[in-house]
Amino acid sequence: MRAMRRVVLMAAVFGVMAMGQAEPVKGLAGTKWRLVEIQSMDDAAGVKKPAPGTDYVMSLNADGSVVMKLNCNTARGKWTAKAGADGMSGEFRLGPLATTRMMCPGPSLDGAVAGQAEHVRSFLLKDGRLSLSLMADGGIQVWAPEAGRDEHLEAAVLKAAPSYTKAAAGETVARYAASRVDLNGDGKEEVFVYLMGPFFCGTGGCELMLFRDGPGGYELVEEFSITRTPVIVSQKKTHGWSDVWRAESGGGAKASFVRHSFDGKKYVARERVAGSRAPAGKQALTNETTFEKGTPLPPQR
C-alpha cells in the first residue's frame, strides 16, 4: 500500500519538476469533485473514507475560487494549478480558506480536509480521479468526479416517493444512481434511478424506479422494490420494450435474478433464475453502484 501511494506522489512531483512555463490547467476549471478517501503515508494511519451519510464536495470554479462542502461545514477560498509536460500532473495550491466552524456529528473528516488544504502541493489526474498530494509525504486526497444533477429527475423521484420527508429521512440523506437507456427504440432514453439509504433500503435490497421522458416531463413507468445490482437490459423485447433483469438477495432468500417484461402498460415479473451467474445483456447499473458514489437526494420538507 505504501509503495503504491509513493508512486502516485512521485508522479505528481515529477509533473511539478517538468512544469516549466506551462499554462494553468484549464481542464480543471469549472469541475466538481467528491472526496473518495484520504491516504496516509503512515501505514499505521491507513486510509480514511467518508462515513456513510457525510458529504465532501469540492467545486473548482473557472474564476479561480473554490467552494468546498465539508460535511456540515463550508469552506471558500482560491485555487491555482499549473500542468507539467504530460498535462495530467503538476502544481496545485489551495487556500487560504475561510471555513465555517460548526460541530459536525462524528465521525467527520471536515477538519482533516480543511486542515490539509494549505499543504496541498501537486495534482495527478489518472483513471478519471484527481489525486492531491500534500507536502513532505503528508498524504494524498483522492477525489472522484461529482455527477451533474438533474433537478427535473429529482423532482419526479420525490413526486413518486411523497413520504420521503426530512422528518422521515432523519440524519441520513438518501442517495441515488441514475442510468439512461433507450428501452423502446423511440430515440428517447428512459432512466433507471436506484435509491440508496435507510429510507429506501431493507434487508432484501433497495428501491429501483424507471422513468420515461413524456410530454410533461419525467413519468414513472415502474417501481421495483428490494432490488440489488446489477440491473441488466436484455436484448429480448416484449411489446417493443427491452426485458429487464434485476438482482435480489438477502432477507433470508437465496440470491436470484428476476426477469421483467413490458405488458403494454407496465413491467411484470415473468421468470426467476439462480443468482450464481448474471443473465446476458447490458448492465445499466453495475455492482460498483454504492451509497458512497451516489448523488445526494435532498428530502421534501
Q: What is the pLDDT of residue 238?
A: 97
Q: What does the alpha-carbon distance between residue 93 and residue 116 come to, in Å, rounded to a whole number? A: 11
- Tens of pLDDT, residues 283-300: 999 888 888 878 889 998
- Tens of pLDDT, residues 204-235: 899 999 999 888 889 999 999 889 999 999 99
Q: What is the pLDDT of residue 280?
A: 94
Cell numbers for 59: 467545486
Burial-class residue 291 by CB neighbours within 10 Å (0-12, 13-18, 19+): middle
| Topology of the domain comprising 2-145 | Lipocalin (2.40.128)
Cα-Cα-Cα-Cα dihedral sign, residues 12, 13, 14, 16: positive
Q: What is the pLDDT of residue 250?
A: 81
- Tens of pLDDT, residues 58-74: 999 988 999 999 999 99
What are the residues whose beta carbons fall under 8 Å from the beta carbon of 252, sequence distance 6 or more? 203
- Tens of pLDDT, residues 144-188: 877 667 888 999 999 999 999 999 988 888 999 998 889 999 888
- Tens of pLDDT, residues 20-50: 333 446 568 888 898 989 998 876 668 998 8
φ and ψ at residue 65, rounded to 5 degrees: -90, 155
pTM of the model as a whole:
0.56
What are the residues whose beta carbons fall under 8 Å from the beta carbon of 181, sequence distance 6 or more? 189, 190, 192, 233, 242, 282, 284
Does pLDDT of 14 surpass 80? no
Per-domain boundaries in the chain: 2-145, 151-296
Q: What is the pLDDT of residue 29?
A: 85
Q: What is the pLDDT of residue 147?
A: 65
Query: What beta strand segments (E) does the chain contain?
Result: 31-39, 47-48, 56-60, 65-70, 73-83, 89-94, 98-99, 120-126, 129-134, 140-145, 175-181, 190-196, 201-202, 205-214, 217-238, 241-250, 253-262, 267-274, 282-285, 295-296
- How far from each other are the two terminal CA atoms of the chain, in whole angstroms? 44
Residue 75 amino acid letter: A
Q: What does the alpha-carbon distance between residue 138 and residue 133 come to, in Å, rounded to a whole number? A: 7
What stretch of H or E contains 7? helix 2-17
Does pLDDT of 119 surpass 50? yes
